[in-house]
Structure 1
């Protein structure tokens, strides 16, 4: 790699041990991917923010960087933690996780991070600009940033994100380069996408086919909601390792099919019609019984609009006594929803709104058996895809109306 004089000084230790270690990480990463240089960034979303990911060793590593004088030189937001700050004990999170999480969160905050603790940083003040080079972790946020915003980022892990935050640099490879951002195959959407769950189902279908390739969609309505695109991004990054998609006439780098593919011919052309949608939905419904006990809305974290829809569904009703309803969200979304009365409506009905964590980044393999949960019911394709393997919980999957009816009735219909 060719480094500037300033970058060479960082690598030589002229700006301290923390920056030197960070530059060593970035140079090794860049060379492994064949990057020719580093590119300046001023925006990092930190994936390694939960102690479920970092554990004791990762927490000590971040603490040591801070003790060495590490200071973030970029905007930094943090991914969900392993702990709800006020309800961790009630929802079954181990105290040891709470103690360790405080250490990790304090270490990041002490170096200058905005501890928003959410997988939707673009809704809490960190909205990427078109063409902006960034170093983001959290797979669903990476897809959203690259695709919906037109920003440029690879999927960064905890160490590489930390290194970028300390140096303001990231290696220029992958999705930082225009020629790597073109589509590889075409999916013709020939069925109606009615809500965010349908968009998630499309993402699940496409991700399984895509692997790491970038899909291009035609036939998507030109006015999808933010929640629709959030669900599509999350599902693509779950069933596949997708980092970007194009929706012709919707996303900024795909005004036409030709521009989405960079003038190339698609490697393959597929159809997503009624039959394909039904088959994908069936594949995500892995629990044959009607048993319902743990219901999750908010993966990725719920927007205020999603919280409002849950509250509307519960107005004047009660969550079944045998059901635990979680709505997971960011602290900022919680504050706005609380001001509007949505939190009270959900809590009065018997549900809970969980902040700053989610089943993926909390210790759900401890929570589920301690609470006696045997199934997980959700409107999130990402959650439905991961839950059987990660938590050992088979899933019911459907749109929000169906999920909320299950919360009230206590059975899956």
Structure 2
């Protein structure tokens, strides 16, 4: 494969000499990264300042994420003139269903360059993906455009997983945190006094809720990433369709997830009974004064309420002003028991498979999806690559 030509001009990417009439699709290569990063920032960050640095950092991260192992599963579409027309981020994963191994594709950023693409890149990328070796395809971050593309291709939508829940601890401080997330340069002194006054007035309304755990013998404590990686596969055994991580894969995945910066460091915790047996665990990003962001929560049997209590208490103890996370059907009844919890659409969660047993498991909600089995844990979901 030829490198990018200096004569090619902006946006042109190395590609085969013979192109199809509307372009072709091939795996992502190292020489594509700068152009893919620039397109990503244009589509999802709208960055104008410090753009060169942001492109370089985004390209470096994409290299680690998509080209760090075996052959890349991420795809690029190249138009007949050799220019980048579109990109689809794809991560390979393994699932199992009743002991049968399944190869899965986790779909991340999906974008086309509207300045040169005439509607061919998106369908070409999806068709190429579906012609691959995967048994199921899933995403938990589809926007409405992607939903429109996927609907005719028989993706199953999981409505509950499309929602995000937010629990407010301090409404004034949370509003300020949301404004600073959108406008990082906003001065603290301009809004903090008003936030403090509002929180003082609303303190009684936003007091910590009563604990759902009926047993005083259940206690929570922080754990490390290794302990979380050890216990999560055990706790998710209730799902028929679930991930199948090989030795060392889950710790490596957690290490990658810990690189995300937008919401603070990654914290782990669990709840235990009096014998020390772990009944539930959680992982979330958070820092004092910020909005905690749930990465993963899992519990066994009837212990979802106690695990959710522990998660929210841990975020409060850290000094967070609220917490948000992807919803799951397993703990929706417990969420409804909290006051000051709000729901909104955050991104489409969809699954596609030609295997009848897989589609039935998805239809019945018997699938572990989202969190670590999605792409919201990557830095591409939220980080600003242009900041110092």
TM-score between both structures, scaled by the size of structure 2:
0.26
Structure with higher RCO (Cα < 8 A, 6+ apart)? 2
* TM-score computed with the length of structure 1 as normaliser: 0.24
Q: Which structure features the higher share of helix residues? A: 1
